[in-house]
Amino acid sequence: MARPIRRRRLLQGTLAAAAGATATSALRGQAPAAKTASTPGEPRPVRIGVIGTGGRGTGLLGGLLTMKGLDVPAVCDVRPAAAENARNMVLRAGRSACETYTAGEEDFKRLLDRSDLDGVIIATPWEWHTPMSVYAMKAGKYVGCEVPIALTVEECWQLVDTCEQTGVGCMMMENWSFRRDNLAVLNMIRQGLLGEIIHCHCAHSHNCMHWYFDGRGYPRWSGRHLIRRNCDLYPTHSLGPVLSWMDLNCGDRIDYVTSTASRCLGIRGQLLKKYGPNHPPLKEKYLQGDIVTTVARTVKGNTLVINNDMQTPRPYDNRWEIEGTNGLYNEQRNAVYIHGVSPKHEQWEPFAPYQEKYDHKWWKEMQASAGGHGGTDYLELDKFVQAVRAKGPTPISVYDSVVMSVIFPLSEQSITKGSAPVKCPDFTRGKWEKSKPYFAV
């Protein structure tokens, strides 16, 4: 267990009063009541800063700027041009003045030390996610951090400890938890259509060479991980909807995992075809296997298969399949089978009518234009902003955030040990046994 983290500064305003209620509600698994955007006569707008204003950061910023009752007083990036571009986005949207922070890697602290911010969106390279999130919580700012929120077990504990000590909300921005189809499946599970859940398969299968390597075929910051590590580098898109489907951290939790990696052929093969045999990055030794398969077993005895497949030529898919004692859903087939309900004995039927019937209220109520990822990004941001406005629990808890992320280091440990089982820490410290499902209830 991680050592307690000392406070670096006194929390401001009403933070101390809000902390107890926030932490208690989060542990009960209760989401804050939805609130509409500010209108004349209501309290001041929610004020959100953005750290990291590259492609993903400006994408999220664009979603924020479509919301009423919200200001973006400050943005931060180590590249002045990127920060200036984000500032111009804010001004073009008709918002108040926006200050930029660009004086090196530590300048994010000046942004977070501002007294006029309620929360922050973090969309930086992975290594900065935990340090920035921890600093933000200690400064009294709600955290919405891009994936993964942590790279090591120790970082996971830092996030949990800081969130519990400060009472400030911390959420990983795993947008696939908010997909329309995934929320409809969640409704089906909670209404008992699939029976008692016993197994799930999920994957992140996507040729990401364009993301790992720049336009000249040289590793970006993300591509450097392919050289240094052999693990599931991107487990959160796989696990996003699965935690609520399987009630992980709410009556069950992951007990241990085993992981196995294939050999590495995809990276060199794609670089060779595109850039030829003399391309300098081909001289690097890449540790990352092409396909990483992790098998998790829960305390209750359920099983979960997680695949990472991000460096071979292939179409995109997540290969979600959730199975219970009375039926199952398969994302690749876009189909379901419900025993005693499906018209043809033990044959698939289309999922579309089920999605329409069990469509989640969040999608029925959403008034905004679609935005990124078919509206999923907007919905995720909207629920985060609602939590900031209410000073209540975030829609994804810090516990769920670190459990999705911890597969990164646990898979690395298991592969290094010859696919040996590795225990998953209980980040809730036993609270999972009595916690009730809270996500999208």
Q: What angle do CA 200, 396, 3 make, to 5 degrees?
A: 100
Q: Answer whether 149's CB lies under 8 Å from 240's CB.
A: no
Position 34 scores a pLDDT of: 33
Return the higher-pLDDT residue of 277 and 41: 277
In terms of Cβ atoms closer than 10 Å to its own Cβ (0-12, 13-18, 19+), residue 309 is buried
Mean pLDDT (whole number) for 309-316 = 97
How does DSSP classify residue 170?
E
Gap between the Cα atoms of 355 and 241, Å rounded: 15
- Residue 370: pLDDT band by 50, 70, 90 thresholds? low
Task: Say whether pTM exceeds 0.85.
Answer: yes
DSSP 290-350: SEEEEEEEETTS-EEEEEEE-SSS---B---EEEETTEEEETTTTEEEETTTSSSTT--EE
Pairs from 275-279 (Cβ < 8 Å, separation ≥ 24):
275/217, 279/217
Mean pLDDT (whole number) for 411-428 = 98
pLDDT (tens digit per residue) in 20-65: 334 434 433 333 333 333 444 567 899 999 999 999 999 999 999 9
Position 344 scores a pLDDT of: 80
Domains and CATH numbers, the chain: 15-176 (3.40.50.720), 177-362+399-433 (3.30.360.10)
Gap between the Cα atoms of 322 and 94, Å rounded: 45
Least confident residue range of 7-21, 162-176, 198-212, 312-326: 7-21
Q: Look over the chain and give the mean of its residue pLDDT values, rounded to a whole number.
A: 91
pLDDT (tens digit per residue) in 389-413: 999 999 999 999 999 999 999 999 9
Mean pLDDT (whole number) for 433-438 = 97
pLDDT at 368 over 60: no
Neighbours of 74 (CB within 10 A): 27
pLDDT (tens digit per residue) in 131-166: 999 999 999 999 999 999 999 999 999 999 999 999
Write the single-letter amino acid at 441: V
Position 6 scores a pLDDT of: 33
Position 290 scores a pLDDT of: 98
Q: What angle do CA 173, 177, 183 make, to 5 degrees?
A: 150
Q: What percent of the chain has pLDDT over 70?
A: 89
Gap between the Cα atoms of 248 and 298, Å rounded: 8
- Residue 270: pLDDT band by 50, 70, 90 thresholds? very high
Q: Answer whether 395's CB lies under 8 Å from 31's CB.
A: yes
